Amino acid sequence: MGDREDRKARNEAVFRTLNERIRAVVDELSLAGIVDEREVSEYLCECAAADCLERIMLTPAEYELARATPIRFVIAPGHVAVEVERVVHETDRFMIVEKHPGERQIAAATDPRREQPGE
C-alpha cells in the first residue's frame, strides 16, 4: 500500500471518529425525547478527500448500517475512491463503501468501536 492510500484511509478514520460523537449526541437527545430516532441527523462525509466537508443526512439505523463492520464508511453520493473501496449500499442521500483487502488493516485498527490496546 502506498503513502497516498495510507493517508486516505487515515483521513476517513478521523471523520468516522467525529461521526461517532455525533451519533452519541443523537442517542442522548433521543433518550431525552428531544429528537425522534427515526429522524435524519447531519453527519460528515467519510470519504478519502482531505478537503471534503460535505454533510450527509442519515437516520440512526442508516448510520448503524455503515458501522456494522470496521471496514465500512459512509460517504456522500459520488465520493467513492475506487482504488481503495467499493460501493455496497447506495441511496440518493448517501453511499456505504467497503475497503479493498489491502486497506482493511488501517480501517480495522482505527475503528472507534474496537477496544484500543492500552486505553
Residues near Zn ion (CB under 5 A): 45, 47, 52, 54, 76, 79
- The 3-class secondary structure across the chain, one letter per residue, is CCHHHHHHHHHHHHHHHHHHHHHHHHHHHHHCCCCCCCCCEEEECCCCCCCCCCEEEECHHHHHHHCCCCCEEEECCCCCCCCCEEEEEECCCCEEEEECHHHHHHHHHCCCCCCCCCC
Cβ 118 to Zn ion, closest distance in Å?
A: 31
Cβ 4 to Zn ion, closest distance in Å?
A: 16
Return the number of the residue (47 or 107) whose C-beta is nearest Zn ion: 47
Return the number of the residue (5 or 35) whose C-beta is nearest Zn ion: 5
Return the number of the residue (58 or 76) whose C-beta is nearest Zn ion: 76
Return the number of the residue (20 or 30) whose C-beta is nearest Zn ion: 20
Terminal Cα-to-Cα distance of the chain (whole angstroms): 27
Residue 42 pairs in a beta bridge with 57
Cβ 115 to Zn ion, closest distance in Å?
A: 28
Cβ 38 to Zn ion, closest distance in Å?
A: 25
